Amino acid sequence: MAEFSHYALYGMSGMGKSTVAKGVAKNLAAHRQRMIVFNPNGEAGWPKGALQAYNADQLEALLADSANHGSFVFIDEARTLRMTQKNHHVNIRDLGTTGRHRGYTVFAISQFVTGVDPAIRWNCGRCYCFRLANVEHAKEVWEIYNRHMWNGRPAWEAILQLPRLQCFYLTPEGIQLVTVPLPK
C-alpha cells in the first residue's frame, strides 16, 4: 500500500508550480479520481470535472459534503486561503491534520512557504520546491525535510538558485532534482 502524504509546491511566480500541479491533476482525472480545486484567481487549465471553489466559503461547503470525501484537494494560492478563511471554516482549518480521516490528500501551492497554514505546511510529507526568493523560506523548507545536503552544501542554498522549471522533490528520506517538462 502506498504511504499517505500531503504535498507542498513552493516557488516564485513563473517557476513551474502550476505546471506540476495541473499535470498531477490531469493524471488523476485520467484515473477518474475526484478533485477539489481552490482557485481564487479563476485560473484556467484544471481538468474538466474538478470541483472548483473560488472563495473560502465555497471550499468549506465542498469539504463538508460527504460525497466529496476521498478527494484530492488542490489549494492554489494557499496564502490567499489562509488570509480569507474564517473561524467557522472548520473543514478548512482541519484539512492538514484530520482531513486525512475523510480521505483528503492536499496539494498546497504557494509562492510563500509561511503563507501556508502551519498545520498543512508541517504535515506535507512531499514537497516540490522551486526557486524561492526568501532565505528564511528556503531554510524553513530545509528544516521541514530533514536538512538534506546538495553538492556538499545545505540544500536551502541551492533552492535560492534553481532555474525556471527545475525543482527539488523533497521527502523526509531524500532529495532529487527534477526538470519539469513544458505543458503540451
Each residue's pLDDT tens digit, 111-170: 999 989 998 999 999 999 999 999 999 999 999 999 999 999 999 999 999 999 999 999
Check whether 1 has a pLDDT greater than 50: no
Decide: helix, strand or coil at residue 19: helix
Is residue 184 very low, low, confident or very high in pLDDT (cuts 50, 70, 90)?
Answer: low
Domain that residue 15 falls in:
6-132
Instruction: Tell me whether residue 48 is in a domain.
Output: yes
User: How far from chain centre, in Å, is Cα 71?
Assistant: 14
Check whether 2 has a pLDDT greater than 60: no
Each residue's pLDDT tens digit, 54-100: 999 999 999 999 999 999 999 999 999 999 989 999 999 999 889 89
Instruction: Tell me whether residue 137 is in a domain.
Output: no
Q: Residue type for 42, please? A: G
- Angle, vertex CA 53, rays to CA 50 and CA 54, nearest 5: 130
Q: How far apart are CA 179 and CA 101, in angstroms?
A: 33
Instruction: Tell me whether residue 1 is in a domain.
Output: no
Instruction: Tell me whether residue 99 is in a domain.
Output: yes
Instruction: Tell me whether residue 152 is in a domain.
Output: no
C-beta separation of 127 from 169 below 8 A = yes
CATH of the domain at 88: 3.40.50.300
C-beta separation of 71 from 65 below 8 A = no
DSSP 136: H
Is residue 5 very low, low, confident or very high in pLDDT (cuts 50, 70, 90)?
Answer: confident
pTM score, two decimals?
0.94
How many independent structural domains does the chain possess?
A: 1
